[in-house]
Amino acid sequence: MFEISDTLQFSKNRLQNPDRLYFDLFNTILIQELQTHITVNDGIVKTIRVGQFKEDTVRIVFDLDLITGYREFFLENPSRFVIDIYGKQREKTVAEENADLAKRRIIIDPGHGGHDPGAVGPGGLYEKDIVLDIALKVQDLLKGNPLYDVYLTRRSDIFIPLEDRTAVANRKHADLFVSIHANASPRRQARGIETYLLNWTDDEEALRVAARENAISLKEMKAVQRKMDVVQTITDDLMRQNKRDESIKLAHYIQRSLVSSLNTCNDLGVKQALFYVLFGAKMPSVLVEVSFISNPEEEMLLSKESYRSKVAEAIVEGIKQYFSSVPAFQRITSRENIFYSG
């Protein structure tokens, strides 16, 4: 991922012997602080080299090992140029496979953090603090089960870029990714719980929620959808290995569990939108809006330890129900397809 300060024009090419992929970024100057040679050696990319190829052109070169494809796209606020390269990981031994497949690897992502507080309630409650506490409770509940390996994208009040969060899940070869957030609306009476998966939408309210979580305006959110090659991006990012179908299933289990456990809440259902934090995930992934922090009554609920514990328990129950619904052979096949075939 590369931050850019203006509209970017570029060209790309792939060369053989040795196998490498390069991008030329036109009308671009390389800042001095940028690291120009990065060793990766993950079985997909060997090294990344960045240099001022010409006076007004920066060249990014990926020395490749074994890849199955790549794509590039833009994100807004700040403007970023993202290059996603995917491929085959190294083959594992039988012992490693058996140990790996015996457990379900779960990534829990507390939204926002650090200088990004997320939504702020009328009473001064910060979304970043609430969702971190819920995520820690989810981890505590799940890690008591020997069948689960659970990781958090952050365990303290730090800022992590949105695209880095799913990158953590991909590096960990996770079975699923759950991003936890608290909702907000200019309508103070808005209340309830909703769960999202990644997809294109023309629903105005879903676009508004995605814009807020992506830290851009509604107008910019609509522009992102217009500029994005929807067919290519969504097909590549969602349909591979039936990820979209599994994300829908996971979203429904978590949503139903939350609604049934928090019986006073308003069920806003399962929806879809283009959330940056879900881009690039190679496993079933959802974003949960646990309550409206902008609603004074729900902010009061979120401030209570007992309510946050019930939210965490409900998310855990939804995750368990999802895994129980997937036959063991299907989980194994899914893990192999996603992580060893790209």
d(CA 197, CA 284): 9
Q: Are 175 and 205 members of one domain?
A: yes
pLDDT of residue 233: 54
Alpha carbon separation from 319 to 96, 111, 151, 255, 314 (Å, rounded): 24, 18, 14, 10, 9
> Is this prediction's pTM over 0.85?
no
Q: Are 81 and 177 members of one domain?
A: no
Q: Are 81 and 182 members of one domain?
A: no
Does 2 have pLDDT greater than 50? yes
Residue 274 binned pLDDT confidence (cut-offs 50, 70, 90): confident
Kindly report the CATH number assigned to the domain that includes residue 6: 2.60.40.3500
d(CA 174, CA 298): 32
For 338-342, which contacts have Cβ atoms below 8 Å and span 24 or more sequence positions? Answer: 338/173, 338/240, 338/241, 338/243, 338/282, 338/283, 339/89, 339/173, 339/282, 340/88, 340/89, 340/91, 341/68, 341/88, 342/67, 342/68, 342/69, 342/86, 342/87, 342/88
Is the CB of residue 151 less than 8 Å from the CB of residue 105?
yes
Q: Are 268 and 298 members of one domain?
A: yes
CA torsion, points 129, 139, 238, 78, in degrees to nearest 10?
A: 30
Does 332 have pLDDT greater than 50? no
pLDDT of residue 334: 45
Which of 55-59, 216-220, 301-305 has the least mean pLDDT? 216-220
> Over the stretch 253-270, which tens digit does the pLDDT of each residue have?
999 999 999 976 899 999
**Comparison of pLDDT for 124 and 198, the residue scoring more:** 124
Domain with 286 in it: 94-340
**Comparison of pLDDT for 342 and 220, the residue scoring more:** 220
> Over the stretch 152-188, which tens digit does the pLDDT of each residue have?
999 999 999 888 898 889 888 899 999 999 999 999 9
Q: Both tokens of residue 22?
A: 């390069």
Q: Are 122 and 262 members of one domain?
A: yes
Helical residues (DSSP H) of the chain, grouped into ranges: 94-102, 127-143, 162-171, 204-213, 218-227, 230-234, 243-261, 296-302, 305-325, 328-340
Does 101 have pLDDT greater than 70? no
Overall average pLDDT of the 89-106 stretch: 63
**Comparison of pLDDT for 94 and 154, the residue scoring more:** 154
Q: Are 15 and 112 members of one domain?
A: no
> Over the stretch 62-75, which tens digit does the pLDDT of each residue have?
999 888 888 887 77
Q: Closest Cα partner for 75 from 192, 183, 227, 204?
A: 227
d(CA 150, CA 222): 35
pLDDT of residue 340: 29
Kindly report the CATH number assigned to the domain that includes residue 316: 3.40.630.40
Is the CB of residue 254 less than 8 Å from the CB of residue 319?
yes
**Comparison of pLDDT for 1 and 161, the residue scoring more:** 161
Q: Are 63 and 122 members of one domain?
A: no
Q: Closest Cα partner for 135 from 103, 112, 166?
A: 112
pLDDT of residue 326: 78
Residue 88 binned pLDDT confidence (cut-offs 50, 70, 90): low
How many structural domains compose the chain?
2
Does 202 have pLDDT greater than 80? no
pLDDT of residue 216: 82
Verify cis geometry, omega within 30 degrees of 0, for the bond prior to 78: yes
Q: Are 266 and 205 members of one domain?
A: yes
Highest mean pLDDT among 82-96, 158-172, 225-239: 158-172
Final residue in a domain of this structure, among 56, 87, 118: 87
pLDDT of residue 338: 36
pLDDT of residue 78: 66
Does 328 have pLDDT greater than 70? no
Q: Are 122 and 215 members of one domain?
A: yes
Average pLDDT score, the chain? 84
Does 336 have pLDDT greater than 50? no
